[in-house]
Structure 1
């Protein structure tokens, strides 16, 4: 599961030449929530009670949240406004369950396999978020508009392009979750393997 929060586009007006696009700056943080249980089923029930919220009534096993903040530098020459530099900062937070009681050797092995799959799933959400920000940076790099001496039209166009890319990638996140969580999907198989024999 993933959550998206977008910080405002910050604009700095600068007179200079040459459009530039920087690599996406990414920070990653991992948090945990504690669960207990002596069986796979009990661990799943604990995750269902304590996991990160997914909508109003349900909870997720794990979650990938991210925020994006922008710094955009503008080059204004006469009535032409151009993006000189667009730099995004992507902050990703992964939230995973952590078992706080002892487990039997068999359950410990099943838990390790389960968590390996859960981490892989959430890290894919992080990869999609990185791709989204890279696509947005490419879409606005070098943008130039005439008859825009105060860069208002250009700022609106940057926002429009970024919003369209975010919407596209949000749909990619949703499709990925639907594929992974469907009956017989990767997450479904992980849950079944953890729950077997209790």
Structure 2
């Protein structure tokens, strides 16, 4: 029993510390005025947080991905001892500012549900890449100490580019959620 305990302690101390992803999620809203569907859609187009080439995106997810690292030096080499990845997700959604008829409220509820599904997938993509950043950085164990930070920054930059690429591809496939049924991704 004593040998097993010693063996377990050796295994625990031989492996790097477990990394972590600290996530913060914020839901932010902007007001949309209008009583009829036409008024609401007109104001939605005017107030949308993201516009490009004549189209508008009424809901939006902003991802902010950062990290902190503690290095350890052993035998003239450096390695990542601890990683903390910080993922901040801010979802921005429209909210009706006026009271509408029951039919209009039901119509609006369906629209918001559609936007929410689309944006939550953006959040899931960001979570996936935050975990990948966490895993990738923690795996850096045998680095030249003089260039360790350059290597770390390069790996983090690569992960961030992959995150942006997947987000853009998701929006391209779904046309920013207008054709959500096209998305067959697995997260």
Residues 1:169 and 2:163 are matched in the alignment: yes
Question: What residue in structure 2 maps to residue 3 of structure 1?
Answer: none
Contact 1:17–1:84 (Cα < 8 Å) also in 2: no
Contact 2:69–2:84 (Cα < 8 Å) also in 1: yes
Which residue, out of 25, 38, 51, partners 2:48? 51
Q: How far apart are the structure 2 equivalents of 1:183 and 1:122?
A: 8
Q: How far apart are the structure 2 equivalents of 1:170 and 1:183?
A: 17
Divergent runs of 4+, >6 A:
none
TM-score by length of 2: 0.81
Which residue, out of 95, 103, 106, partners 1:106? 103
Residues 1:75 and 2:69 are matched in the alignment: no
Moved more, 95-104 or 137-146: 137-146
Cα shift at 1:142:
3.1
TM-score by length of 1: 0.77
Contact 1:21–1:138 (Cα < 8 Å) also in 2: no
Which structure carries more relative contact order (alpha carbon 8 Å, separation 6+)? 1
Contact 1:85–1:141 (Cα < 8 Å) also in 2: yes
Q: How far apart are the structure 2 equivalents of 1:48 and 1:24?
A: 36
Contact 2:35–2:100 (Cα < 8 Å) also in 1: yes
Cα RMSD (Å): 2.5
Contact 1:84–1:142 (Cα < 8 Å) also in 2: no
Cα shift at 1:64:
0.5
Count of aligned pairs: 170
Which SS does the other structure have where 1:98 is aligned?
strand
Q: How far apart are the structure 1 equivalents of 2:139 and 2:91?
A: 33
Contact 1:75–1:84 (Cα < 8 Å) also in 2: yes
Cα shift at 1:68:
1.6
Larger Rg, first or second structure (1 or 2): 2
Which SS does the other structure have where 1:19 is aligned?
coil
Q: Which has the higher helix share?
A: 2
Question: What residue in structure 2 maps to residue 130 of structure 1?
Answer: 127
Cα shift at 1:40:
2.2
Residues 1:118 and 2:119 are matched in the alignment: no
- For the structure 1 residues 56 and 74, does the alpha-carbon distance in structure 2 shift closer, same or farther, using more than 3 Å as the test? farther
Q: Where does the alignment leave 5 or more consecutive residues of structure 1 unmatched?
A: 1-15, 188-198
